[in-house]
Amino acid sequence: MDLEKYTLGIGDRFAHQGEAQLNALIKAEKAGVHVAPVWNKSFREHQTVGSNHAETKKEADEAINALNWPGNYYVDADHINLSNVGEFLDYANFFTIDVADHIGEKADEEDINQFVKSNTRLIGNTEIPGIQNASQVTENAIREIGEKYLYAAQKAGEVYRFIADKKGGDHFVAEVSMDETDLPQTPLELLVILSALAHKNIPLQTLAPKFSGRFNKGIDYVGDISQFEKEFKADIQVLDFAVREFDLPENLKLSIHTGSDKFSIYPVIGKIIRKYNKGIHVKTAGTTWLAEVIGMCLAGDDGLEMAKRIYRTAYNQVEKLTEAYAAVIDIDQNQLPEPEKVNNWKAEEFANTLRHVPDHPQYNPHFRQLMHVSYKIAAQMGAEYTGLLKKYEDTIAAEVTENLFEGHIKRLFF
């Protein structure tokens, strides 16, 4: 199963926006760019919402059939590990094997020695594109990186083989993710990590490293864009080299995660992948929930009331809602409007405050980040919330499609 060059991670919290999201990809298709959809949902998200992967697959199947999507599509068991992969096996054909928790755990000394030995060809090699200073590539450097990442690669191998035993290696796409960690990986680390994954015979097609800068939920990238550009370019070059050197799948590409709207770096990523003729996988799922709330609040008074209620509830439990997300949100509580004030807002003001239009005077990134992590509150409302999704289906779908196409796809692929 060969993953397409361009793929977009979609999927929404409540499995109602399958067609609306796919419509954004159909718009891209009509404009001449093929982007294959990947419905992703993690174990954590299923737990928060009270959903399961059978429902995710059903949403994908129904949208694909309803809109006659012309190509392949994928259902991703996102951020899984050995303890929870079981319940995804029957419904996923894409597995994001998450080993971030094992970074820094040390493999057996003998394994590390063996690994270092197998990489002697890299030492001092001046021909590795993306590695500017060949003198950094010493035996010691490889050993240090091996000590940090080899064990994680071994764990990824265990999960990969578990899935391959059950499904057959040709019946799914494997991604390895290391993005949910504190420190970004350098291009040299990426090179050695790819060596380790190849060493463990994982035919991964996408890899999600951690990049430098902040990728906060729902809002734009925060960091030095020119620094990001250099790093991303070096990563792409290293990846290209690794494919040849370690005999990894030809179509291996980077995967960019986290629920952020990476608007300001999309054009940079787009420019580099086109220049080097590389693919990309970008996960966007979290943003659709926000488009849904915006559509709902614009559609009718009860929709606006629901949106206000979610905010009010979230405002009163900011600490509790945000504690699990310290690495991926930056909310200044002083910048959050008081619920009494929000109660007087008209629909447009609520929508403009929430919608990610960076230079709109009413846009409030603190408000948006808090709403991003508040889908749990909507989940607790159950049918009361999903009933409104059905009632205002058309307005909400338009908002969802527009957000994905104008906000994400156009900035990245055109």
Closest CB to Zn ion among 283 and 410? 283
Closest CB to Zn ion among 280 and 351? 280
Residue 151: which H helix or E strand, with range? helix 139-167
The candidate with the shortest Cα–Cα distance to 341, out of 366, 308, 375, is 308
Closest CB 100 distance from Zn ion, rounded Å: 9
Q: What is residue 78's DSSP assignment?
A: E
Closest CB 254 distance from Zn ion, rounded Å: 12
In this structure, how many other beta carbons lie within 10 angstroms of the beta carbon of residue 163? Answer: 24
Closest CB 9 distance from Zn ion, rounded Å: 9
Closest CB 80 distance from Zn ion, rounded Å: 11
Stretches 18-26, 126-134, 172-180, 336-344: which one binds Zn ion (CB under 5 A)?
A: 172-180
Nearest residue to Zn ion by CB is: 257
Stretch 232-261: interaction string toward Zn ion, x if CB under 5 A: -------------------------x----
Backbone angles phi, psi at 119, to 5 degrees: -110, 15
In this structure, how many other beta carbons lie within 10 angstroms of the beta carbon of residue 10? Answer: 30
Are the beta carbons of 193 and 145 closer than 8 angstroms? Answer: yes
Are the beta carbons of 196 and 115 closer than 8 angstroms? Answer: yes
Closest CB to Zn ion among 41 and 278? 41
Size of site (CB under 5 A) for Zn ion: 2
Closest CB to Zn ion among 105 and 180? 180
Show contacts with Zn ion in window 333-372 (CB under 5 A).
none
Q: Does 41 bind Zn ion (CB under 5 A)?
A: no
Stretch 176-215: interaction string toward Zn ion, x if CB under 5 A: ---x------------------------------------
Closest CB 75 distance from Zn ion, rounded Å: 16
Task: Name beta bridge partners: 173.
Answer: 94
Q: 148 is written with which tokens?
A: 């940090």
Stretches 5-13, 124-132, 171-179, 355-363: which one binds Zn ion (CB under 5 A)?
A: 171-179
Distance CA 166, CA 390 (A): 37
Closest CB 292 distance from Zn ion, rounded Å: 21
Stretches 110-118, 143-151, 173-181, 265-273: which one binds Zn ion (CB under 5 A)?
A: 173-181
Distance CA 414, CA 408 (A): 10
The candidate with the shortest Cα–Cα distance to 99, out of 135, 60, 146, 150, is 150
Distance CA 176, CA 158 (A): 12
Longest dimension (CA), the chain: 68
Closest CB 106 distance from Zn ion, rounded Å: 24
Closest CB 351 distance from Zn ion, rounded Å: 28
Are the beta carbons of 235 and 187 closer than 8 angstroms? Answer: yes
Stretches 17-25, 54-62, 175-183, 239-247: which one binds Zn ion (CB under 5 A)?
A: 175-183
Backbone angles phi, psi at 80, to 5 degrees: -95, 165
Interface residues toward Zn ion, by CB under 5 A: 179, 257
